[in-house]
Amino acid sequence: MLRVQDLRAGYERGAPIVRGVSIEAKGGEVVAILGPNGAGKSTLVKAIAGTVPIESGAVILDGRNITATPAHRMAGVGLAFVPQTDNVFTTLSVIDNLELAAHGLAGARRRMRLAAIFELFPDLGRQRGLDAGRLSGGQRQMLAVARALIVMPKALLLDEPSAGLSPKVVAELLAKLAEIRDSGVCIVLVEQNVRAALTVADRLYVLVEGRNRLEGPKRDLLQDPEIAALYLGGATRAAGAGTGP
């Protein structure tokens, strides 16, 4: 459903951080992008989402080339992005954050999507009148994901969603991502927390210095102890029995 072909991207033209990366994510699949600091993981998803300039390559969503689509139009073509920071309006209430994200939907459809979001995130329903700035870190991250989902995207990109959260809250967030994956959405997840990513991921891509270094189904990669130790932080035991193939 989402295919990235030989992408080169960066903040300054002629100095790419992402240097010819290719990835693919299918509907109903979580793909984790892993790698050391400075590998280009966050730059990659920002480029896919239209917030970092692309020098060359292509981004294809459901057969449509969206490479040149401006960031503010990505939701309209079916791609949603949850950045690591500044991903909710802290001075607005939970319901106002969601209403704002759903402003392009007709009245009946907006109500239907809000009801579906509160069913998926019941804690947000209970806190709907509270300013987002007063939510806990975990609730705020759930709200950011909920805002992205309200328009029913085909693909969901998340940049370091577990950053700064407690292990308990990370587990709750990953359980929600598994539910979203099971609804047919394809999820591309950038994570520095390898153990968390391996819990929910179906397939893995490892980037090193802005290039593809390793890719494959999680189970296959975890069965190779040398690969697990070198690229995955030796996280085999913690994630070997995790969700997904």
Instruction: Express each pLDDT in 151-204 by its tens digit.
Output: 899 999 999 999 889 999 999 999 999 999 999 999 999 998 888 888 899 999
List Cα–Cα distances, 38 to 25, 41, 101, 162, 172, in angstroms.
23, 8, 31, 18, 28
Instruction: Name the residue with tokens 């520095």.
Output: 192
User: For residue 73, which phi and psi values (nearest 5 degrees)?
Assistant: -105, 0
Instruction: Express each pLDDT in 34-67 by its tens digit.
Output: 988 899 999 999 999 999 999 999 999 999 999 9
Domain spans, the chain: 1-78+156-245, 85-152
Ramachandran area for residue 102 (φ above 0: left; ψ -120 to 50: alpha; else beta): alpha
Percent residues over pLDDT 70 in the chain:
94
What's the burial of 72, exposed, middle or buried (CB within 10 Å: 0-12/13-18/19+)?
A: exposed
Q: For residues 210 and 21, is the Cβ–Cβ distance under 8 A?
A: yes
State the Cα–Cα distance between residues 122 and 36, nearest whole angstrom. 35
CATH 3.40.50.300 fits 1-78+156-245, yes or no: yes
Q: pTM above the 0.85 mark?
A: yes
